[in-house]
Structure 1
């Protein structure tokens, strides 16, 4: 949302209250014409009430003096003002609608761009940054920015009306306007500070703290955990935890609001004193006959018109919330932009999609050169000086105990994280520069509420249907092709939509990788995507994948050693380092950790097979 808006506009905006300045600069950058049109009509509409006040005073004096001509003139003025106001309002609404449309689109774009700005995913797994993203997103979901344009120009019109009323009061007495304006400024400042406290809490300060109670609330109200919570009689316990966690969040919020309410009460008192002084004087002068009836009517209306200097009420609250949310979004964009330092360096531009699918790329080398990496918030690194070279066309399997660093290697190779030190390359280039060259499927692969075609190809091009069907067949998903069309949405709740089992979803995800491989990707990377399959099905599928990807560089991660024994090469990772390296036969002969794990798993497999045959 950043960008230059012109020096003169910046100087002018500094004279406005903070929220008007924040939003006004953005409006002018996005749509100068509609912004200037809304501003011009707002200024005129803001001054019109003062003309109504003056005209009403003249009408009262004319009636009191039985001056028919003056009374008719005043009524004519009323008629003219009644016509001008709706015409200007209509013009204003047209310009405001266009400005609002552009602003909402820009906020949506900026929110998505902020979340996607770093090509790595560390910011999405950092609780502090994720809490800020969620806070800004929640404000957008609540429609805060939908009313931002209306709020800005409504408050601007109030301010113009208030200033015009103050100028009118100066015609009758020099001190009335300063006294009331001082009261309103004190009250408005205190009220705005109170609102800022509330909305800062809602948008950022407690977004991270609210995550726990909101998660517990979803568990209580949504179907995902309904069965187990009832089976284990956990609903009362969970309900109590929700109440405690929500109370803990809200008690802090209430304390902050209570502390901010003290100055607000002082502001209200200042405003009451100002009005008491002015109306006391006005009553005395009216009784004494110092002022005529028309003047008294004008002064009362103008004094009440100064209320427009205070941006309180629903519109003022909307303005505060909109301004706060926009500043949070600007700050978030700025902070996330600083995380893009690991983008492809100069000379390594990120690749554009290759739309010429007729040329299959050759295999590439993959290398980890003295790579160290530690997850945010953890004391110990997951990888320490990790080194690995994968030649062109080799099928490599990475195995090891849970937490050894297998999936971390894959995330670094996919460009989802940047190493703390060392270098990761695909074909001699950063993964960020060559991300489209790798086809990666993780254990927690995506299950998208899209059509079968879109789930595999992420596109709508029907010219690729044969390639999509071939990828599904290679992934063992022929059964889906017999009962579904490629247009079938893979989610219940859509017309003709359907739910898939866990195993079916795994085959769709594998087809996604195979399709990418067929369409130009040079490296196939599978990070335990078949964990939900039984051992025999996983082994058969891995063997099929090795056959399909033969001649391409491929990296397989699995905790089942039998499934990867046909890989060209197997490395064992322990404690963030490679401890064994060889093919299946050589590692068995070495009688190290791999051999022990393989024999242990083989015994379990034989036992399971025997029990299965006995049950049959």
Structure 2
């Protein structure tokens, strides 16, 4: 078990990461019941699949009996000529044979329909578990990410794998049990039980090997994520750098090394089990051959009729051939994905999309706030105190790694402080219900550094889940300067912003930043009241930056705002500027106050100004 925080207020989540899978008939019955219950609740085709499986198994047993009776009737028919009974047996055998051959197709088609019904629901539950919680603490942990990958299906063995295994596995179990009954009735119950036990032992061993391999494979989810990242980087975001810097061989070698590393435990497991596999399969074969020999001896002594010996031999062959370790292992893999999915879904927070925000301009206070990321050795924030007044334009400056973006996440309520309080309009975020916290998040209009870039039409990238109003979108685009980028798009607002789609285009970094700003302004027009700009000029050129500074007071006039930037020209118009260093606020005041103070802000401002002046002189 791996334990980590998922919810707020100290609640703990236990995520069950698979170690050794549960293998055996008693576990299999439970697994089949779990997946069947899931399928029966959400697909009307499940009863028809079960009916097809049962009828198919019954038809197989009937065919065994008919073959025995028909063979037993051959000699009398040769001597006396065909009788009506013989012809009826032939007709029945043909009909049952045709039915047995047709029913697997029915099982497959109904199973496909069940998968079709369940797949969207399964993926929706996984996505909801990722997106519904108001906090993002769970997304910061490798253990949770591994559980997500298991829920999706490691190596493509997801919930659908277990659903697809249900029909063949149930059919194999019914065939084995029915064939053992036939052998017991016509020959010997002890022989029937011995062959059944040997058959299930062979299957158990094979399934155990497959699951052991699955264990080894599942333990390498981190390596698989690394390999997938390298592959995706080579196809998309790093494609240009790979060619410019001649990194093709390095990337290829890195990918193969990571992939081979993830396969080594699997290969070792296969080598270790090879000798034991020969022994178990050999025991199964000896048991079957010994029973067939016993049937032969009983026949020679006159203890069995021709029909009975034919039924016994046919049933033994059906019984020994009913091993289905492949589908047994796939069932267990599917159940593990199902359990992981339920773990994710059960521990998710309440839905937040429909919670309205407030109309008032918020006031925020941070009292002695400390924060450390899980697994980190040092605190990012150390006893930070800060007040953002209602309607105030507050700016925050500091060196890289000072904790500015972390502070934004804490104010947004998606991370919780290790210690201290964050109070919004007189209420501690830690005391808010999930619904109230979601309501607070709806009041935010952020432009984070790593803002969302949807491969969707431009209008969707601005409006997101808010009601679409192209007039307001056009107005906010004009405010942010994104209107010029939209104007040159071939289909205007309906142009998809990703080059991998037909007639899609890519925007420059600065154009994307303006789209993100338009998105935040649209949120303000839709009810948000706290504007957060985290490095809003990082991708803008000098002229665009000057334009943003000029529009700053207009953009922030209807909200409480927090702006974070390395560029002092951007923060200069703010009502108050705070300097964050070593996890706490060391200076605060207007630009003029801080310059007169001659402290850290003044030093950084002059250093940056000198670089600008030097650049202008060089030009």
The TM-score bracket by the shorter chain reads 0.7 to 0.9
Q: Matched residue of 2:292: which SS?
A: helix
Give the 5 Å matches for 1:85-234.
85=100, 96-139=111-154, 142=156, 144-171=158-185, 172-202=187-217, 204-219=218-233, 221-234=234-247
Asked if 1:574 corresponds to 2:589, the answer is: no
CA offset at residue 306 of structure 1?
A: 1.1
RMSD, aligned α-carbons = 2.8
**552, 556, 560: which one aligns with 2:563:** 556
User: What corresponds to 2:37 in structure 1?
Assistant: 25
1:41 maps to 2:40 = no
Question: Residue 279 of structure 1 corresponds to which residue in structure 2?
Answer: 292
CA contact (8 A) 2:223 2:261 kept: no
Q: CA deviation at 1:611?
A: 2.6
Superposed displacement of residue 458, structure 1 = 1.1
Q: Helix, strand or coil for the counterpart of 2:454? A: coil
Partner of 1:324: 336
Say if 2:257 is the partner of 1:250: no
Q: How far does residue 414 in structure 1 lie from its aligned partner after superposition?
A: 2.0
Aligned equivalent of 1:529: 536
2:150/2:158 contact within 8 Å kept: no
Tell me if 1:601 matches 2:601: no
The offset of 1:184, in angstroms, is 1.0
Following superposition, the deviation at residue 503 of structure 1 comes to: 0.8
**Distance in 1, Cα, partners of 2:368 & 2:543:** 37
Task: Give aligned pairs, total.
Answer: 580
Taking the aligned partners of 2:504 and 2:189, their CA distance within structure 1 comes to 74
Q: Is the 8 A contact 1:35 1:95 kept in 2?
A: yes
Please report how far the alpha carbon of residue 106 of structure 1 lies from its aligned counterpart in structure 2 after TM superposition: 2.3
Partner Cα distance (1:599, 1:149) in 2: 67
Q: CA deviation at 1:62?
A: 0.9
State the alpha-carbon separation in 1 of the partners of residues 466 and 576 from structure 2: 38
1:472 counterpart residue number: 477
Measured in 2, the distance between the counterparts of 1:222 and 1:398 equals 37
Structure-2 change in CA distance of 1:611 and 1:361 (3 Å): farther
1:42–1:156: 8 Å Cα contact kept in structure 2?
Answer: yes
Q: What corresponds to 2:63 in structure 1? A: 52
1:436 CA displacement: 0.8
| Alpha-carbon distance between aligned partners in 1 of 2:338 and 2:102, rounded to the nearest angstrom | 32
Change over 3 Å in CA distance of 1:129–1:408 after alignment to 2: same
The secondary structure found in structure 2 opposite 1:433 is: helix
Q: Which of 390, 393, 411 is matched with 1:392 structurally?
A: 390
Indicate if the aligned counterparts of 1:14 and 1:21 stay in contact, CA closer than 8 A: no
Cα shift at 1:72: 1.6
Conserved in 1, the CA contact under 8 Å of 2:223 and 2:259? Answer: no
Distance 1:90 1:138 in 2: 26
Deviation track 1:543-596 (CA, whole Å, cap 9, x = no partner) reads 413322214200000011121111000111111111111111111111110010
Distance 1:261 1:388 in 2: 66
Deviation at 1:521, TM superposition (A): 0.5
- The alignment partner of 1:362 has SS state of coil
Return 5+ residue gaps in structure 1 as ranges. Answer: 1-12, 344-348
Matches within 5 A, 1:433-444: 433-444=439-450
Q: Deviations over 1:431-482 (max 9, x none)?
A: 54311101011111111111111000015855x1110001111001231243
User: Would the aligned equivalents of 1:194 and 1:261 in 2 still touch at CA under 8 Å?
Assistant: no
Pick from 301, 304, 307: which aligns with 2:320? 307
**CA–CA separation in structure 1 for the residues paired with 2:388 and 2:64:** 84
Partner of 2:500: 493
TM-score, normalised relative to structure 1? 0.87
**2:432 alignment counterpart:** none
Change (3 A) 1:307 1:206: same
Which residue in the other structure is 2:72 paired with? 61
Corresponding residue number in structure 1 for 2:91: 76
**Would the alpha carbon gap of residues 369 and 307 (structure 1) be closer, same or farther in structure 2, given more than 3 Å must change?**
farther
Q: Matches of 2:593 and 2:385 in 1, distance apart? A: 20
- Mapped contact 2:529–2:558 kept (Cα < 8 A): no
2:397/2:579 contact within 8 Å kept: yes
Structure 2 match to 1:427: 425
Aligned-partner SS, 2:493: coil
Out of 456, 465, 471, the position equivalent to 2:462 is 456
**In 2 relative to 1, CA 259–18 (structure 1 residues): closer, same or farther, beyond 3 Å?**
farther
Change (3 A) 1:290 1:551: closer
For 1:503 and 1:34, the matched residues in 2 are separated by: 52
Aligned equivalents of 1:575 and 1:460: distance in 2? 38
Q: Structure 2 CA distance, aligned partners of 1:278 and 1:113?
A: 55
Measured after TM superposition, the shift of residue 262 of structure 1 is: 5.1
CA 259–419 in structure 1, closer or farther in 2 if over 3 Å, else same: farther
Please give the per-residue CA displacement for 1:7-49, whole angstroms capped at 9, x wherever unaligned: xxxxxx9574454244223223434x54344333322221211
Q: 2:527 — aligned with what?
A: 520
CA distance in 1 between partners of 2:110 and 2:538 (Å): 57
- Alpha-carbon spacing, 1:15–1:160, altered in 2? closer, same or farther (3 Å): farther
Change (3 A) 1:211 1:150: closer
Distance 1:387 1:132, change over 3 A: same
Alignment of 1:240 onto 2:253: yes
Q: Distance in 2 between matches of 1:109 and 1:14?
A: 31
Unaligned runs of 5+ in 2: 1-24, 430-436
Tell me the distance in 1 between the aligned counterparts of 2:141 and 2:542. Answer: 35
Which residue does the alignment assign to 1:352?
354
Q: Match for residue 413 of structure 2?
A: 415
Whole-angstrom CA distance in 1 between matches of 2:259 and 2:161 = 29
Please tell me whether the aligned partners of residues 383 and 576 of structure 1 are also in contact (alpha carbons under 8 angstroms).
yes
* Aligned residue runs from structure 1 range 348-387, under 5 A: 352=354, 354=356, 361-387=359-385
